[in-house]
Structure 1
Amino acid sequence: MDVFQVSPPVALSSSATNLCNRTLMEYSFGQSYGKPFVGQYQPPSCEFNRVVMNFTVTSAGQQFDRLAIMYLGDVEIWRTSTAEPTNAGIIWTYTKDSSHLMYLWKQPQKIIFDLGNNIDDTYTAPFNTTLTATFFSTSAATKPADVILPLSAKLSASGQSSAWNYPDMRALDTFTIPQNVKKLVASLSAVGQAQEEFWWSNVPSSTTQTFGNNTLLGFSPFREVQLLIDGELAGVSWPFPIIFTGGVVPGFWRPLVGIDAFDMQEDEIDLTPWLSILSDGKPHTYEIKVMGLVDDGNGSAALISCSSYWVVTGKMFLWLDPTDSITTGALINKVIHPPTFFLTAYTTKGQNGTNATLKYQVLAKRELSFTSTIHTASGPSRASWTQSLSYSNIGIFNGNGNNQTNDQITSGLEVSSNGYSRKLSYPLKVFSFIDINPATKAMTLEGRLDRGKNIQIIGEATFPTGLESYTKEGSFGGMALNTRQNASAIFKSIPAEKRAGSWGSTEQDLVFNGFRVGKAEFPQVPIATDNTQLYSRNVVAFNGTVGRDGASAVGRTMADEQFNFPIINDTDMLDDFAMVRVEDIQFGKLRPGLSFVKP
């Protein structure tokens, strides 16, 4: 079965020259916890200013979804995850543009690919991987950062992953940047695991004991990833809710995986206003924190470090002036409004006097602004970075905590004086229901999901935006990506028969536009004009089969295939997807919104 993520395609430019290829890794990840692949990379002899990676994986048997991170030295360059295989076997390929990491690709590097996997009598599948890279030149390439510095645990010397597991590990690094930096951008990569994997489904801490012995997870459904410089807040990321391929109900994700499951995007923070401090030739501390909320049960809430655990790293992109230049500047004007939170929760009781329902609402708003005048080789200039973010989550539990609904949306606007801006909107609606027969332990898990990711970027981003594949169509000043998934699925297990399985249907629409922009004075965001639809795709998947897949690129229709949906009965699905260790199924161990504990 071919598994795939719907996303804009990455293609070689029509002006590409000097093509050459490298195999970076061929490796099977079996018993691989704490044992990443370690290899050596040597730059190819051809001239290149673009790099595109191709990652192909095969797997057969039973296995959970697994998080994977690739590094060049101590710098994380890609975060991905695996699909859950079937007994018949699966394959997937993902292509990733990594041209923004040119500083790293131009010199020898240690490659570390960390994909922790576990194999035993039940979970039998290794992940057999091949990673290649194509190097080429194109006249339309943008200028990447001159230097890239890791913000990580820096464990490559011992052949280990350089990610921090926060909060068990303090995500703190100290280093000195060159004094001739004219532009500085940080990126943050963070994803929740264990009790934080489905953070968006957690409840206010004051309500975790609402349903007696069915303890709910707390710290609220709100999360904020913070970047601190010398202990002061310098920017934040309100994360996109990643759902892995076993998440909520596994039948959602066969063969169409969740948004960004194969390519977890990083958020960028412009630190150029901080150059008046950071270019002094002295070491400074950089720290990443992931914060949730603790509430008093009376509507008041405050930020607090979340529970275990989040996998986090960052990196710093530096653009340099001539070596004899020293950047100076005035003090930073910091406008950091305290975040505002509105939190309510109430319960209703059933006829027996116990709590029957829990309903809660969490609202959040945050505004940040950093401005300074910096002096570079080009003279004085105003540097500024602003963020305005809002958040809402309404949650409902009933059925003794076994039925859950979450309706969440995160939105925001980020603007840099360097000409970059990003608008974001992350809507998410999830319903899940679980029923376990106390006598037979037979279990049914049902779910419905409606989620999206909407991004508009104007100006020159640090990361590839997808426009790089459409240079022939013209010069675009910005892009817009709008994608939505709508799904329903069911999971069943029959311990007496030692079988379990999941099936369902998922539809995804994606539209990718390029546009030109009108003039606007900072901090106003330019108006998008002359929208051109560059790519669109609509996919319907049903019980592991693609029922419809229609795509178009710049007005021409690509594949548009239609199939009859197969008739698959419960018995067939249970045989194919024996995903749960049946002796682990115990009443009250599982709750809606959480996938099964991974060994």
Structure 2
Amino acid sequence: MITFIFLLFLFFTNPISPTSIPDRFTKSLSTSFPKHKSREYFELSLPLPTDYLTPSCTLQILRHSFANTINSPPFTTPYSPPSNCSLPWSHIVLEFRAKCKGEQYDRISGLWLGGVELLRTSTAQPTQCGIFWKVRKDVTRYYSVLLQSNLNLTMMLENIVNREYTGVYHVEVAFYYYKDVVVNNKNDGVSLPFIVGNKNSGGKLGLETEKFERNLGVGAEEPADLILPISDTGDKGFWYRIESETAMRFKEIRIPKNTRRVVLEFYVSFHGNDEFWYSNPPNSYVTVNNITTGRANGAYREVFVTVDGQLAGSEVPFPVVFTGGINPLFWEPVVAIGAFNLPTYDLELTPFLGTLLDGKAHQIEIGVADGISYWLVDANLHLWLDHNSHSVEAKSKVNLNPVFRIERGSVFRQLDGSFKIKAERVCNSIGWVKWSAGNFTTTFLQSYKFNNLIRFQKNGTYKLVKQKVKANRQVKFENQVGQVIASRSVKRKYPLSVSTATLPGSRKNTYLLLTNVSHSMNEKYSNGGSKIHVHNSQDSVGWMEVRDHSVLSGKAKTKQSFMYRDRLTCYFRSVNAGDGKLLSDNATFHCLDLFAL
């Protein structure tokens, strides 16, 4: 059937604008999609060690229904840690639960505590019979914030409810607090130790320690002593909204004079005309073909951070696909990589302490290179302090031999053509900090290579997008005699391939859209002698008949595999889904010999 439709589209002109695909859609309730009981949706990820434990304390903090909340202020509720929950806690987990039924678009949502973002998530698209899902995220990284009382927990989820879009998102949020334990995972008859440590033990440098390596999502390090939000006022959520490549959002900060280490963690998501930024053609293609669209400006995007105007680091973000994106039939009940728990990105700012410790206010700025409307970004500034001194000394050498290259190629005739972008960046900063434990030099090296290809064929009815990103980040710590005492590196690869073909539909004012998506995130972590490898891959194929942005019918299949491997532990899970049903789901810890580090 799919092969036959691909042949048919050769004989038709494009029923829609070629730049408007891929797009976001909803699944119409007035069609003949099969009915089912309320169904659970999920995202494949590494189970948390605390998934097998009973928490010492539980705080159910938020229960709210997000109906017609567009242009409304966020929902806010007071937070204080449980008074009967003795310290210290080894782990703290945030659990986000949601349910919805009806017809509705996917929505973006953020959760902040005292202006510090804890979770960036998006919703699943509901069905007439209802869906539900949960997200569990280890938030031990925000320990110093979660210790505080009389803060506000804030959640932003803008939704539209009317006669057409009827889905109301009912959300519950809880915190779970855990004590020191050693967990033996008995799955598949294999005993695998998950070491859960004490926040107050070891880690004088505030570097990665074994006790936190199990949860990659929190950065595998001792929690910071202080976290400063780099965020907006909170009237419409604490994220900054960036509408163009020239828009910079900044905050002035002063840090304590005894700060010995600084890491900036930023959250980012992309929407509107830039939701599918990796598929945007250059402006010349849109202008010459007289296409009415805002989706242009090429397919290169880079989120960058500066300190007082000096580049501190940047990232090409992982291209998360939300549940209404490209083909919503792909993402039920297994959502796309990162859709429920969007990735965050860390930049080591310790080399900038020579500038930041002068007692003056300094600007932390965030921007999006080549960005168009709109991006939601904010950041958390994690600070480690020297508790044995009121002040430390520091000196900075930043932006040593920076490299940035970008090449753009464009060849097209009318609606057919191809566009290529190649980019490369190298950023290197060094600085030393002298505090009560000694004089330590921090080197932060960051590099990436970016390749993007967009090709239009058959009068714009066929579109192919291929993108590859390779990113390396390394932090090295040396003592005063030049001996490396700690180092950490992260290597990421995330290839993406999207192909679409359009042709007229079988009903009035409809069109058929054939779609294929293949994307993955391959990560390798090195921390001294320990190594971790994570590979997450998804492949989807299907078709749908669409009127406006409503999916009337269609078929889709998605297969996904997730693998985690370290020196002692291996976890593998694979799933297959088709037409909204989970066809197979297999998980095992018997995989140490299958995947090399």
Asked if these proteins are the same fold (TM beyond 0.5), I'd say: yes
SS at match of 2:400: strand
CA distance in 1, matches of 2:41, 2:250: 37
Answer yes or no: is the 8 Å Cα contact 1:214–1:401 preserved in 2.
no
Within the alignment, does 1:154 sit opposite 2:206 as a pair?
no
2:11 aligns with none
Determine if the alignment matches structure 1 residue 388 to structure 2 residue 447.
Answer: yes
**1:588 paired residue number:** none
Distance 1:12 1:194, change over 3 A: same
**In structure 1, what is the Cα distance between the partners aligned to 2:171 and 2:554?**
25
Instruction: Tell me the amino acid that sits aligned with residue 360 of structure 1.
Output: F
Q: 1:35 to 1:215 in 2, by over 3 A?
A: closer
Secondary structure at the counterpart of residue 518 of structure 2: strand
Deviates more, 1:439-448 or 1:477-486: 439-448
2:58 maps to which residue? 21
- Asked if 1:167 is matched to 2:239, the reply is no
Task: Compute the TM-score of the two structures, normalised by the length of structure 2.
Answer: 0.80
Q: Does 1:3 align with 2:56?
A: no
Q: Where do 1:246-257 residues align within 5 Å?
A: 246-257=324-335
Does structure 1 conserve the Cα–Cα contact (< 8 Å) formed by 2:40 and 2:333?
yes
Which amino acid counterpart does residue 340 of structure 1 have in structure 2? R
Q: 1:410 to 1:437 in 2, by over 3 A?
A: same
- Say if 1:221 and 1:393, in contact at 8 Å, map to a contact too: yes
Residues 29-75 of structure 1, C-alpha deviations (whole Å, 9 max, x = no match): 11112232211111112122311122221111000000000000111
Amino acid at match of 1:379: G
CA contact (8 A) 1:50 1:136 kept: yes
TM-score, normalised with respect to structure 1? 0.80
- Give the equivalent residue in structure 1 for 2:351: 273
Matched, 1:514 2:566: yes
**Contact 1:164-1:170 within 8 A present in 2 as well:** no
Tell me the C-alpha RMSD between the 2 structures: 2.2
Q: SS state of the match for residue 167, structure 1?
A: strand
Q: Select 1:308's aligned residue among 373, 383, 386.
A: 373
Query: 2:233 is matched by which residue type in structure 1?
Result: K
Would the alpha carbon gap of residues 286 and 333 (structure 1) be closer, same or farther in structure 2, given more than 3 Å must change?
A: closer
Q: Distance in 1 between matches of 2:121 and 2:155?
A: 11
Distance change >3 Å, CA 284–CA 478, structure 1 → 2: same
1:485 maps to: 538
- For the 8 Å contact 1:512–1:536, the answer to whether it is kept is yes
Give, in whole Å, the separation in 2 of the partners of 1:499 and 1:404. 20
Shift of 1:337: 2.5
- 1:376-412: CA deviations, max 9, x gaps? 2222221110111001011101233332101101001
Is there any run of 5+ residues in structure 2 with no aligned partner, and where?
1-38, 181-195, 198-210, 213-221, 478-486, 593-597
**2:351 aligned counterpart, secondary structure:** helix
Shift in CA distance, 370/499, structure 1 to aligned 2, threshold 3 Å: closer
Question: CA–CA distance in 2 between the matches of 1:232 and 1:243?
Answer: 32
Tell me if structure 2 keeps the 8 A contact 1:250–1:502: no
Structure 1 residue 239 displacement after superposition: 0.5
Amino acid at match of 1:21: T
Q: Deviations over 1:407-446 (max 9, x none)?
A: 1010011101142211000000000122346993112122
Partner deviation per Cα, 1:179-217 (whole Å, 9 max, x = no partner): 111111001111111001000111123322354436573
1:560-575 superposed matches below 5 A: none
Partner secondary structure for residue 128 of structure 1? strand
CA pair 18-394 structure 1, distance change in 2 beyond 3 A: closer
Deviation at 1:228, TM superposition (A): 0.6
The reply on whether 1:30 has 2:67 as its aligned counterpart is: yes
Match of 2:286 among 208, 216, 227: 208
Count of matched residue positions in the alignment of Structure 1 and Structure 2: 500
Q: Give the conservation status (yes or no) of the 8 Å contact 2:55–2:176.
A: no
Of 336, 360, 364, which residue of structure 2 is paired with 1:286?
Answer: 364
Change (3 A) 1:17 1:431: closer
Superposed CA deviations along residues 500-519 of structure 1, whole A, max 9, x for unmatched, are: 2443110001100113xxxx
Q: Relative to structure 2, which stretch is displaced further, 178-187 or 398-407?
A: 398-407
Q: 2:263 maps to which residue?
A: 185
Counterpart-to-counterpart distance in 2, 1:336 and 1:192: 31
**Which residue pairs with 1:322 in the alignment?**
387
Q: Tell me the distance in 2 between the aligned counterparts of 1:356 and 1:170.
A: 34
Q: Which amino acid aligns with 2:241?
A: N
Distance 1:555 1:413, change over 3 A: closer
1:122 aligns with 2:164: yes
Pair 1:214–1:435, CA change in 2 (3 A): farther
**Alpha-carbon contact 1:249-1:502 (below 8 Å) kept:** no
- 2:365 is the alignment partner of 1:365: no
Structure 2 residue 189 is the aligned partner of structure 1 residue 110: no
Q: Which residue of 2 aligns with 1:434?
A: 502
Q: Of 65, 74, 78, which residue of structure 2 is paired with 1:40? A: 78
Identity %: 26
Counterpart in the other structure of 2:185: none
Shift of 1:173: 0.2
For 1:18 and 1:77, locate their aligned partners in 2 and report how far apart those are by CA, in whole Å. 19
Q: 2:515 aligns with which of 419, 431, 447?
A: 447
In the alignment, which residue of structure 2 is the partner of 1:297? none
1:537-566 superposed Cα distances (whole Å, 9 cap, x missing partner): 10000001001100113569xxxxxxxxxx
Mapped to 2, the partners of 1:225 and 1:207 lie a distance apart of: 25
User: Does structure 1 residue 406 correspond to structure 2 residue 465?
Assistant: yes
Stretches of structure 1 that go unaligned for 5 or more consecutive residues are: 293-305, 349-354, 461-475, 516-531, 557-599
1:539 equivalent to 2:539? Answer: no
Deviation at 1:373, TM superposition (A): 2.3
Q: Is 2:170 the counterpart of 1:134? A: no
Q: 1:42 to 1:183 in 2, by over 3 A?
A: same
2:135 aligned with 1:94: yes
The whole-number CA distance in structure 1 between the counterparts of 2:541 and 2:449 is: 28
Q: Quick one: distance in 2 between partners of 1:406 and 1:338? A: 27
1:325 and 1:376 in contact (8 A); partners too: no
* C-alpha deviation, 1:112, in angstroms: 0.4
Structure 2 counterpart of 1:161, one-letter code: G
The Cα of 1:456 is off from its aligned counterpart by: 1.3
Distance across 2 between alignment mates of 1:18 and 1:538 = 29
Distance verdict in 2 for CA 1:203–1:12, change over 3 Å: same
1:218-257 alignment, distance < 5 Å: 218-257=296-335
| Among 399, 417, 426, the residue aligned to 2:476 | 417
Q: Identify which range, 41-50 or 135-144, moves more after superposition.
A: 135-144
User: Which residue type is aligned with residue 363 of structure 2?
Assistant: T
Amino acid corresponding to residue 164 of structure 1 in structure 2? Y
